């Protein structure tokens, strides 16, 4: 047995040596939590082997070295709220995309969106609903994982769940049986719907806890607390978390009470509800960029005009969450605005009062934690080698997140 064992060990050691080893170095390194100067990363295969001062890493033998002047290394970015199957509504409105464009056409567009996202430094996305494109997100994810097309790692929601009567497309002749942008389900049938979506590939369950279906078109709760609890119970028992679209205060409260992991939008968030979020460890995704984009599509000019009521509300809920210490994740609802311009949300988070370094944390380590991605979002030994290099110092100037110079996902370079 002994010679066999030593032969095996010899083969294993050869395999380790055969793995490509790369040293990535720059003036600054943001490890997902803090900034270091003159640090680097050693990548071996698809993993991070070592992180530390360049002076310590220089002695390690490597196959190649990556270095850009005046730049910052960061973990691969994590987009918290994307729709890779949608594209900006000022090009084609949502109704048309949902009703007139075939799932295949939308999936082909999705391939391009995925590549743009990866090129922008986002190596992971949480994609929150195909909006009428069935399970095309599940297939896009598979094509990326199989190496057929380049794109970010995807956590997908599939069709997402809405209450009967609440969701769009709306305003058509009632004689038409229209396909909705998500799957309608109610009461006890939610048990079957959640299980069905899981069976078809959903990594997370997305539920619309409210929608603009109030008497005057305002956001009002859709599901009862009992229904939301049922959704959470079924999803949680499968090891999946629940994401709630919720703008109105009552829907936010019900969703928290039911046990969701993240709140999307949260426009009417108040102090006591923010405190409840913090206590329960519920994450907040304010989606600032989507609102700014939609307002600008409606004619609002940021340079010359005052904020609209919607934007005032958004700023208010964001600053309350910030003040109350709610964990705020980065997720802009990208798709409403162009894929690849994900950094817009980061710029707005900074503009609305969050420090740049905190924005960087939200986009890396905090998002990884919120999505239970245990080996992503930080530059740490044994973590997946998702690494990017950006120009300049984004901890001082967040706009630098738009100039991504180099992208690596799981040890493979996609932008150089
Ligand atoms: Zn969304």
Question: What are the pLDDT digits (tens) for 3-52?
Answer: 666 666 666 555 555 679 999 999 999 999 999 999 999 999 999 999 99
Q: Order of strands across the sheet with 47-53?
A: 47-53, 39-44, 21-25, 64-67
Q: Determine the distance separating the centroid of ligand 1 and the alpha carbon of 83, expressed in angstroms.
A: 6
Q: Determine the distance separating the centroid of ligand 1 and the alpha carbon of 244, expressed in angstroms.
A: 10
Q: Determine the distance separating the centroid of ligand 1 and the alpha carbon of 287, expressed in angstroms.
A: 8
Residue pair 66/47 in contact (Cβ under 8 Å)? The answer is no
**What burial letters (b/e) apply to 21-60, b meaning 16+ CB within 10 Å?**
bbbbbbbbbbbbbebbeebbbbbbbebbbbbeebeebeee
**407 and 354, same structural domain?**
no
Residue pair 43/383 in contact (Cβ under 8 Å)? The answer is no
**396 and 248, same structural domain?**
no
Report how many domains make up the chain.
Answer: 2
**Nearest CA-CA partner of 193 in 155, 223, 153:** 223
Q: Determine the distance separating the centroid of ligand 1 and the alpha carbon of 131, expressed in angstroms.
A: 9
Question: How does the average pLDDT of the chain come out, rounded?
Answer: 96
Q: What pLDDT, on the 0 to 100 scale, is given for residue 13?
A: 56
Q: Determine the distance separating the centroid of ligand 1 and the alpha carbon of 86, expressed in angstroms.
A: 10
Q: Determine the distance separating the centroid of ligand 1 and the alpha carbon of 232, expressed in angstroms.
A: 19
**82 and 71, same structural domain?**
no
Q: What pLDDT, on the 0 to 100 scale, is given for residue 201?
A: 98
Q: Determine the distance separating the centroid of ligand 1 and the alpha carbon of 127, expressed in angstroms.
A: 8
**274 and 210, same structural domain?**
yes
Q: Determine the distance separating the centroid of ligand 1 and the alpha carbon of 81, expressed in angstroms.
A: 6
CB proximity list for 171: less than 8 A, separation 6 or greater: none
Q: What pLDDT, on the 0 to 100 scale, is given for residue 15?
A: 56
pTM of the predicted model, to two decimals?
0.95
Q: How far apart are CA 245 and CA 200, in angstroms?
A: 21
**Nearest CA-CA partner of 24 in 59, 5, 50:** 50
What CATH number does residue 384 fall under?
A: 2.30.40.10
**83 and 59, same structural domain?**
no
Q: What is the mean pLDDT of residues 316-342?
A: 98
**296 and 391, same structural domain?**
no
Question: What is the domain extent for residue 343?
Answer: 77-370
Q: How far apart are CA 394 and CA 392, in angstroms?
A: 6
Which residues neighbour ligand 1 (ion) by CB within 5 Å? 333
What CATH number does residue 215 fall under?
A: 3.20.20.140
pLDDT digits (tens, 9 = 90+) for 86-114: 999 999 999 999 999 999 999 999 999 99
Q: Please report the sign of the dihedral spanned by the C-alpha atoms of residue 334, residue 283, residue 401, residue 55.
A: negative
Q: What pLDDT, on the 0 to 100 scale, is given for residue 19?
A: 79
**252 and 148, same structural domain?**
yes
Residue 201 has a CB neighbour count (10 Å cut-off) of 15
**389 and 274, same structural domain?**
no
Residue pair 99/390 in contact (Cβ under 8 Å)? The answer is no
Q: Determine the distance separating the centroid of ligand 1 and the alpha carbon of 334, expressed in angstroms.
A: 8
Q: Determine the distance separating the centroid of ligand 1 and the alpha carbon of 82, expressed in angstroms.
A: 6
**115 and 36, same structural domain?**
no
**164 and 48, same structural domain?**
no
Q: What pLDDT, on the 0 to 100 scale, is given for residue 117?
A: 99
Q: Determine the distance separating the centroid of ligand 1 and the alpha carbon of 100, expressed in angstroms.
A: 20
**146 and 61, same structural domain?**
no
pLDDT digits (tens, 9 = 90+) for 371-383: 999 999 999 999 9
Q: What pLDDT, on the 0 to 100 scale, is given for residue 198?
A: 98
**110 and 48, same structural domain?**
no
Q: How far apart are CA 336 and CA 82, in angstroms?
A: 9
Q: Determine the distance separating the centroid of ligand 1 and the alpha carbon of 64, expressed in angstroms.
A: 41
pLDDT digits (tens, 9 = 90+) for 140-190: 999 999 999 999 999 999 999 999 999 999 999 999 889 999 999 999 999
Helix axis angle, 288-297 to 309-323, nearest 10°: 170
Residue pair 209/255 in contact (Cβ under 8 Å)? The answer is yes
């Amino acid at each position: 047995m002994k010679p066999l064992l030593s032969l095996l060990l010899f083969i294993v050691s050869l395999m380790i040596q055969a793995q490509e080893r790369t040293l990535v170095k720059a003036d600054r390194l943001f490890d997902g939590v803090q900034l270091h100067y003159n640090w680097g990363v050693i990548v071996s295969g698809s993993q991070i082997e070592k992180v530390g001062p360049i002076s310590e890493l220089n002695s390690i033998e490597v196959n190649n070295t990556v270095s850009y002047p005046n730049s910052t290394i960061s973990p691969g970015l994590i987009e918290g709220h994307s729709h890779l199957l949608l594209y900006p509504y000022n090009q084609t409105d949502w109704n048309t995309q949902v009703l007139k464009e075939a799932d295949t056409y939308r999936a082909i567009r999705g391939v391009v969106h995925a590549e743009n996202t990866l090129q922008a430094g986002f190596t992971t996305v949480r994609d929150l609903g195909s909006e009428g494109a069935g399970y095309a997100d599940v297939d896009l994810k598979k094509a990326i994982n199989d190496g057929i097309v380049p794109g970010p790692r995807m956590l997908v929601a599939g069709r997402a769940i809405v209450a009967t009567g609440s969701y769009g497309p709306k305003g058509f002749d009632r004689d038409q049986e229209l396909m909705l942008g998500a799957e309608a389900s109610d009461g006890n049938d939610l048990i079957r719907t959640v299980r069905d979506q899981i069976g078809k590939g959903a990594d997370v369950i997305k539920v619309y806890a409210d929608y603009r279906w109030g008497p005057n078109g305002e956001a009002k709760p859709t599901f009862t607390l009992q229904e939301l609890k049922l959704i959470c119970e079924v999803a949680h028992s499968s090891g999946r978390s629940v994401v709630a679209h919720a703008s109105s205060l009552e829907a936010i409260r019900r969703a928290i009470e039911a046990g969701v992991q993240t709140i999307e939008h949260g426009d009417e968030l108040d102090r006591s509800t923010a405190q409840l979020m913090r206590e329960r460890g519920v994450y907040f995704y304010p989606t600032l960029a989507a609102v700014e984009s939609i307002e600008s599509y409606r004619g609002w000019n940021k340079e010359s005009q005052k904020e609209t009521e919607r934007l005032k509300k958004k700023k208010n809920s964001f600053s309350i969450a910030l003040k109350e210490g709610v964990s705020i994740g980065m997720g802009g609802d990208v798709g409403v605005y162009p894929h690849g311009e994900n950094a817009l949300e980061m710029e707005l988070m900074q503009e609305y009062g969050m420090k740049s370094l905190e924005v960087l944390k939200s986009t890396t380590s905090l998002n990884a934690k919120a999505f239970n991605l245990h080996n992503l979002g930080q530059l740490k030994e044994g973590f997946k080698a998702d690494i990017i290099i950006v120009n300049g110092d984004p901890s001082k100037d967040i706009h630098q997140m738009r100039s991504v110079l180099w992208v690596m996902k799981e040890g493979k370079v996609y932008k150089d």
